[in-house]
Amino acid sequence: MLLLARESRGLSQSELANQLNISQGKLSKAEKGAQTLDFEMLSNLSKITNYPISFFHQASPDSPVSHHYYRRKISVPKKTINQIEANIKIFRKNIDELMDAIELPEYSLPSINSDDKRPEEIAELIRYKLKVTQGPMPNLVNLLENHGIVIVKTDMFTNKIDGLSTISDRGVKIVFLNKRMSTDRQRFSLAHELGHLIMHFDIPSYPENIEEEANRFASELLMPKKEINNDLRFLTFSKLGDLKRHWKVSMRALVYRAKTLETINQRQYRNFQINFSRRGINKSEPIKIADEKAFILNRVIDLHQEELGYSLDELAKIVHLNPVEFRDNFIQHNPTKLTIVRNDQR
């Protein structure tokens, strides 16, 4: 856990060794389990990394990071990637610990091999499974949580990573979304990660194709060709705002979709890009899409408090985090209080 603690705080080995006043070699050995640290050292480590001492007495998570899929730009520094992965591993472990006593909606979406069907066909099938047969996809976070996917909106320390999907050791499907991004971008990322969960998690696939396949899946899921094709003809800047409100996707995603569906040509596509940059809306687009709040994680905490009698501090202890970090991570917003669903016939 020493390695995870260090990486999750974005510290290099030499930086932490300096702060602990020990040699880098000693720290390296301790991280590999070849050397033990005395209580004083652990206490210092706890102060520097802001994890309770009990954090360092846990077993490291077993599962590798291999089951991670990112929607990201290529230029993310390795250090940031390590920091995110370490945080995700900790988060994932915490979620498993909290799910011990909790029953989630059953995951009911199929795994489909993209060798058998095109990503677009798979997306059409998934729309059918989600019972959204036509029109814009409604609250996607809510829809997927109803199908047993846990969605976590968290800070990913950079604007260059959009989201990530993973499966916990206990099989919980989790999608992490970067809360720095706008809702329209988060929706596309969520659709993209859903594509990974369906097409790539249980099925061996070619790594060079998976990102493109996930993008094609997401585009079709959010903007089905048969419905949007006409909307994207004679595309103008003034029309983009309306389409964004209607389909709840970014203007850039709409323009890209128009290019893919060949309702605009390469030159027009380039003109749109130039105009986006000229109008300064490359990074922040006008028109805000309504926020899609995640529910499950909050509900899990509520149930622990209301039904199982835990306090927030006790829950923080269970997952070996300090109470402030626990609140930041697990209490994502203040949802309206809802009654507990009980199935007495079971």
Q: Give me the residues that bind other proteins (CB under 8 A), please.
A: 101-105, 138-139, 141-143, 145-146, 183, 231, 237-238, 240-246, 251, 286-293, 295-296, 299-300, 303, 307-308, 338, 340-343, 346
Residue placing its CB nearer to other proteins in the complex, 74 or 338:
338
Task: Report the nearest approach of other proteins to the CB of residue 300 (Å).
Answer: 6
In the DSSP assignment, the letter for residue 335 is: P
Residue placing its CB nearer to other proteins in the complex, 9 or 299:
299
Task: Report the nearest approach of other proteins to the CB of residue 101 (Å).
Answer: 6
Adjacency order of strands within the sheet including 173-178: 69-72, 161-167, 173-178, 149-154
- Spatial neighbors of 74 by CB under 8 A, at least 6 apart, are none
Residue placing its CB nearer to other proteins in the complex, 139 or 268:
139
Let me know if 304 is exposed, middle or buried by CB neighbors in 10 A (0-12, 13-18, 19+).
buried
**Parallel, antiparallel or unpaired: strands 161-167 and 149-154:** unpaired
Two tokens at 176?
Answer: 């992490």
CA 262 vs CA 200, 229, 267, 269: distances in Å: 28, 9, 11, 10
| Start-to-end C-alpha separation, the chain | 40
Residue placing its CB nearer to other proteins in the complex, 25 or 335:
335
Name residue 69's beta-bridge partners. 165
Task: Report the nearest approach of other proteins to the CB of residue 179 (Å).
Answer: 12
Task: Report the nearest approach of other proteins to the CB of residue 22 (Å).
Answer: 45
Residue placing its CB nearer to other proteins in the complex, 119 or 224:
224
Task: Report the nearest approach of other proteins to the CB of residue 308 (Å).
Answer: 7
Residue placing its CB nearer to other proteins in the complex, 139 or 322:
139
Map tokens 């985090």 to a residue: 321
Map tokens 């059918």 to a residue: 128
Task: Report the nearest approach of other proteins to the CB of residue 321 (Å).
Answer: 21
